[in-house]
């Protein structure tokens, strides 16, 4: 993965794994299918970490949910550098692109449910606005990780502020309570 997603091949994967290429083809049709499975594995870890960290919040607010969610993503990116390369620089496969879109919908639904259950949202809030926020958050992280594996902290911090500012427009007083 050090040479990028485009340089990845089933032959290189088999060499790195120490198995014959034929063994790879027993389980995967091609490189794109392998990449998709890696993305699925890592997003499952990310989703579990988001759920765990948001559930551990003592006080829920728009700010605390957004900040905690973004930090949970960053925690997984720090543990899985190859995921950063695949997720942000390897979205060339139609299957991976579609999976990422569906994943963003699931994240938006889960976070909207948390915020609704915690009574953080006004009547103007809806899932479409939540999905817009998740898509923007995804682009913020993509931009922050465009050149490296550590992320540009200024871009991340500014992105969090942008998301909080947008979402607080649809929050009630409880949702606007700061709880960093």
Tokens of residue 62, six digits: 């728009």
pLDDT tens for 125-178 read 999 999 999 999 999 999 999 888 889 999 999 999 999 999 999 999 888 875
C-alpha separations of 83 from 70, 78, 137, 160 in Å: 16, 9, 17, 21
The sign of the CA dihedral 91, 10, 74, 78 is negative
Q: What is the pLDDT of residue 29?
A: 78
Which domains, and CATH codes, for the chain? 32-176 (1.10.357.10)
The answer to whether the CB of 83 falls within 8 A of the CB of 76 is yes
Q: What is the pLDDT of residue 19?
A: 84
Q: What is the pLDDT of residue 5?
A: 64
> Which residue from 65, 91, 81 is spatially nearest to 149, judged by alpha carbons?
81
For the whole model, what pTM was predicted?
Answer: 0.86
**In the predicted model, is pLDDT for residue 73 greater than 70?**
yes
Q: What is the pLDDT of residue 87?
A: 79
The answer to whether the CB of 3 falls within 8 A of the CB of 25 is no
**In the predicted model, is pLDDT for residue 179 greater than 70?**
no
**In the predicted model, is pLDDT for residue 90 greater than 70?**
no
* pLDDT-based confidence at residue 25 (cuts at 50, 70, 90): confident
pLDDT tens for 91-108 read 677 888 899 999 999 999
> Which residue from 88, 15, 90, 66 is spatially nearest to 171, judged by alpha carbons?
66
């Amino acid at each position: 993965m050090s040479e990028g997603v485009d340089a990845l091949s089933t032959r290189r994967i088999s060499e790195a794994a120490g198995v014959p290429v034929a063994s790879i083809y027993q389980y995967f049709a091609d490189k794109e299918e392998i990449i998709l499975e890696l993305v699925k594995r890592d997003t499952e870890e990310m989703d579990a970490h988001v759920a765990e960290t948001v559930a551990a919040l003592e006080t829920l607010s728009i700010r605390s949910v957004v900040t905690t969610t973004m930090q949970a993503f960053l925690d997984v990116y720090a543990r899985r550098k190859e995921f950063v390369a695949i997720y942000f620089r390897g979205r060339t496969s139609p299957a991976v692109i579609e999976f990422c879109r569906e994943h963003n919908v699931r994240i938006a639904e889960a976070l909207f449910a948390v915020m609704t259950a915690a009574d953080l949202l006004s009547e103007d809030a809806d899932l479409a606005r939540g999905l817009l926020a998740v898509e923007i958050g995804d682009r913020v992280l993509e931009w922050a990780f465009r050149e490296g594996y550590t992320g540009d902290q200024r871009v991340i911090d500014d992105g969090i502020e942008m998301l909080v500012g947008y979402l607080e427009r649809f929050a009630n007083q409880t949702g606007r309570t700061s709880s960093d």
